Amino acid sequence: MERTFSIIKPDAVKAGKAGKILARIEEAGFRLVAVRQRHLTKAQAEGFYHVHQARPFFGSLVEFMTSGPCITLVLEKNGAIASLRELMGATDPAKAAAGTIRKDFAESIEANAIHGSDGPETAAFEIGYFFAGLELGSGS
């Protein structure tokens, strides 16, 4: 079993789409290991997206991610990382495949409804950033 991290972003939560997105995730065979709604502070968003700090979109990304509540998730499934990325679709919803979360629920390339880890190292960092070990249980 592999674990990955995901965020249902503020745009999707505000639009009342979080339940439908969670349902899609569960229908795709993911087990919800940890789920928590939170409203990120500027410092939390900057720390989470630190890898993008030098990019021109960093400021607007932090502002967007602190604009309202989001839902952070730890998900488990065989091949979880690749499977979630396929389910999410392309970052730009206009380029996302039909039936993907971003095609069906995202508003734009920035307000794109969902985040998912892009690799094992990223997933480990992202899970640890938001969830303490005791919150995750044994995985059984």
Inter-residue contact 112 to 106 (CB < 8 Å): yes
Average pLDDT rounded to a whole number, residues 91-117: 95
Which residues are catalytically annotated? 115
pLDDT in tens, 15-33: 999 999 999 999 999 999 9
Inter-residue contact 65 to 130 (CB < 8 Å): no
Average pLDDT rounded to a whole number, residues 72-94: 97
User: Strand, helix or coil at 38?
Assistant: strand
Strand order of the β-sheet with 70-77 is 31-38, 70-77, 2-8, 114-116
**pLDDT at residue 44 in the model:** 96
| 25 phi-psi bin (left φ>0, alpha ψ -120 to 50, beta other) | alpha
